[in-house]
Structure formats: C-alpha cells, structure tokens
Amino acid sequence: MSFHKNYFILTILLFITEILIARYLHDNIIRPYGGDFLVVILIYCMVKTFLNTPIVPTAIAVLLFAYVVEILQYFRLIVLLGLQHSRLACIIFGTSFSWTDMLCYTSGIAVVIAVEMGRTSKSLYLKT
C-alpha cells in the first residue's frame, strides 16, 4: 500500500464534479452519460491513490466492478435488499439497467488506459 497524491487530487476533483453533475445538471447528455463515463475514472483514481497496481489489470477490475453493479440493477438488487426508498442507496447503486451505461463505463476505462499509456512509457502491466 502507498499513497499517490496526484491520483488523490484527481479523485477529489472527479468526486466534486460528480456531485455537481448530480446536483445541478438536468440535461439529456451530461447527467445521464457524463456521470457514468466519469464514475469509472473516479473509481480507478481512488484505487490508484492507495494501491500501486498495474494499469490494465486495475482498469479491467474497475470496469468489471461497474458491470457487476449495472447487472445487479437489472436484477433489482436495491428492491431485493429493501433499499428502494433510500435516496442515498438509489443514487449510489442506481435503480435501472442500461446498455448505454455499460458503453459509458467502457468508454471511460478506454480513456483511462489511453491517458495512462500516454503518461508512462512503462509497460501497462507493470506497476506505476
């Protein structure tokens, strides 16, 4: 375990951006798609803040985590857990499955990998 200040700063900035999108944007593009695109980048940065893990395996793990959460929405896990009336639970876990969300998550992770490739000349499978 270690602490990476730059990833931490990115995590905070992305978290604030997500809050601002959720709170103030009520459009048909950024709120539904931008938030999903950014959330996987946020999770990736949060993981990299504390763990010195390889880029690609970390990115894939984050993407798989996002997919699992989305699939659990398909099976209405929030209702099965009795949390459908909890606003916070609904915001965190979501309430409805969408293939578009899966595409947004995939696009966000593709950007993560592309940026990390451009940022480092090290192998993507080595720790950075």
Domain count, the chain: 1
Separation between Cα atoms, residue 114 and residue 89, nearest integer Å: 32
Quick check: is 126 in a domain?
no
Q: Residue 127: phi, psi to the nearest 5?
A: -70, 145
Quick check: is 18 in a domain?
yes
Quick check: is 90 in a domain?
yes
Taking the whole predicted model, whether its pTM rises above 0.85 is answered as yes
pLDDT on residue 101:
96
**Domain of 15?**
5-119
Quick check: is 128 in a domain?
no
62 contacts 113 by C-beta, under 8 angstroms: no
SS3 85: coil
Low-confidence ranges of the chain (pLDDT < 50): none
Quick check: is 124 in a domain?
no
Separation between Cα atoms, residue 42 and residue 15, nearest integer Å: 7
Q: Residue 91: phi, psi to the nearest 5?
A: -70, -45
pLDDT on residue 124:
55
pLDDT on residue 22:
87
pLDDT on residue 103:
98
Quick check: is 17 in a domain?
yes
